[in-house]
């Protein structure tokens, strides 16, 4: 089968690119011919909140990646759509995560469909975005109406699709493991690699820092006097995608500086293993969410987790088995962290993670995409 994946990929960086490249390998593992088509320009610089959109690492030598879509240049949409229309792949998988991508991706999908052969399926990370902007609904509808089917990675997004009256075939399939960051390390090796003091325990907040991810709640929780009395520190590992000033104000207000480890630049792929394997617990204090790739990195590295009971986060984290599902409040988070350390839950939860991670395979994602395409 000929498969094309359209979405972020190298030379772009970040979780979406990592996911799409791993998905391409999963298709290839079952014998399909696959290529990725990605963006020459994903966001105009004035819309991009980070330092750079592009990777400084070497690209994957085992994948075919075409860099050809300019998200704001309709001429490139026509070029890509016409090229794929003529090539007649059996399946095109679009990655849809932001309404602003709707015009470009929806136009490409419509052009491809003119060949009356290719099936169009979208992995829809969100259909109602975390951060709303003008044009969200019409842009989203324009793209979704061009698809033959959908795979969602949370039940909440599947419900959103139905609420918007998109009734094409759709399946919920959990986010597969991010197993491409290398093998596990011992905690002592990871701590040594990060030059961290082994006399402390470490919590990990990982990923791009945006308002909905709740770092402010986590800082307020970490200020709890019970936690301040414990020999633990909070690692903040990820680039600010918004103004850092409100977080800095909280750090100063609660006198947290000496209890933090800051790594607030983009974390390259080869360093991800160190941050996760150094952590006792991975914290995701989100205010809203659909699903999170951070959970699937934590599963791969067999780290217990704390998540808040918002969106689809709790679907993948059995409370009391692999970690905690709590309300998105500072007190609820602090109470769970106190329980974790006072009752020495790490080994117990890590064993639960090792058992639960067996459920998240890339072959199941490939199977779901083909099923909703009716191939």
CATH number at residue 134: 3.40.50.2000
Q: Is 182 a domain residue? A: no
Let me know whether 338 and 198 are in one domain: yes
pLDDT of residue 268: 87
Helix H or strand E segment including 79: helix 74-87
Tell me the residue range of the domain where 53 lies. 2-176+360-373
Q: Is 181 a domain residue? A: no
Contact 292, 248 (CB under 8 A): no
A 10 A CB-CB count for 206 gives: 24
Domain count, the chain: 2
Let me know whether 216 and 279 are in one domain: yes
Let me know whether 344 and 364 are in one domain: no
Residue where the block lists tokens 């974390």: 267
Contact 221, 337 (CB under 8 A): yes
Contact 246, 216 (CB under 8 A): yes
The three-class DSSP label of residue 337 is helix
pLDDT of residue 319: 96
Angle at which helices 330-342 and 215-222 cross, to 10°: 60
Let me know whether 98 and 216 are in one domain: no
Let me know whether 341 and 364 are in one domain: no
Let me know whether 194 and 105 are in one domain: no
Instruction: Give the residue among 79, 137, 143, 136 at the shortest CA–CA distance from 109.
Output: 143
Instruction: Give the residue among 45, 19, 130, 116 at the shortest CA–CA distance from 365.
Output: 19
pLDDT of residue 40: 93
Instruction: Give the residue among 171, 158, 175, 154 at the shortest CA–CA distance from 360.
Output: 175
pLDDT of residue 13: 82
Let me know whether 221 and 352 are in one domain: yes
User: Could you give the CA distance from residue 251 to residue 255 in angstroms, rounded to a whole number?
Assistant: 6
Let me know whether 197 and 332 are in one domain: yes
Burial profile 292-301: b = 16 or more Cβ within 10 angstroms, e = fewer: bbbbbbbbbb
Q: Is 28 a domain residue? A: yes
Let me know whether 215 and 336 are in one domain: yes
Let me know whether 166 and 239 are in one domain: no
* Mean pLDDT per 10-residue section of the chain, whose length is 375 residues: 97 90 97 97 64 70 96 97 98 94 97 98 85 81 96 91 92 91 95 97 94 95 97 95 92 96 89 97 89 89 96 87 97 98 97 93 95 87
Let me know whether 145 and 194 are in one domain: no
Q: Is 18 a domain residue? A: yes
Let me know whether 207 and 140 are in one domain: no
């Amino acid at each position: 089968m000929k498969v094309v994946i359209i979405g972020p990929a190298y030379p772009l960086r970040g979780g979406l690119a990592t996911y799409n490249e791993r998905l391409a390998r999963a298709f290839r593992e079952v014998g399909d011919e696959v290529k990725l088509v990605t963006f020459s320009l994903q966001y105009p610089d004035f819309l991009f909140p980070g330092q750079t959109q592009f990777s400084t690492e070497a690209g994957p030598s085992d994948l075919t990646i075409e860099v050809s879509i300019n998200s704001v240049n309709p001429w490139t949409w026509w070029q890509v759509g016409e090229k794929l229309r003529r090539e007649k792949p059996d399946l095109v998988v679009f990655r849809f995560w932001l309404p602003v991508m709707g015009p470009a991706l929806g136009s490409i999908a419509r052009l491809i469909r003119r060949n009356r052969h290719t099936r169009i399926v979208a992995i829809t990370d969100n259909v109602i975005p975390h951060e709303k902007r003008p044009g969200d609904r019409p842009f989203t509808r324009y793209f979704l109406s061009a698809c033959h089917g959908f795979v969602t990675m949370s039940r909440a997004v599947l419900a959103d699709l139905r609420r918007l009256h998109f009734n094409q075939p759709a399946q919920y399939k959990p986010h597969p493991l991010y197993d491409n960051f290398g093998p596990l390390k011992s905690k002592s090796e990871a701590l040594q690699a990060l030059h961290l003091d082994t006399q402390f325990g470490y919590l990990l907040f990982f990923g791009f820092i945006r308002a909905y991810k709740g770092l402010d709640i986590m800082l307020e929780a970490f200020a709890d006097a019970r936690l301040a009395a414990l020999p633990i520190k909070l690692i903040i590992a990820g680039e600010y995608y918004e103004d850092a000033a409100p977080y800095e104000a909280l750090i100063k207000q609660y006198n947290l500086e000496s209890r933090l480890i800051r790594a607030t630049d983009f974390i390259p792929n080869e360093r991800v293993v160190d941050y996760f394997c150094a952590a006792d617990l991975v914290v995701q204090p989100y205010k809203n969410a659909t699903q999170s790739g951070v959970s699937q990195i934590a599963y791969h590295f067999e780290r217990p987790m704390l998540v808040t009971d918002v969106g689809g986060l709790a679907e993948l984290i059995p409370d009391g088995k692999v970690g905690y599902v709590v309300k998105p409040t500072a007190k609820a988070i602090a109470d769970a962290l106190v329980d974790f350390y006072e009752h020495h839950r790490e080994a117990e939860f890590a064993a639960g993670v090792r058992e639960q991670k067996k459920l998240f395979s890339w072959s199941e994602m490939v199977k779901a995409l083909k099923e909703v395409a009716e191939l």
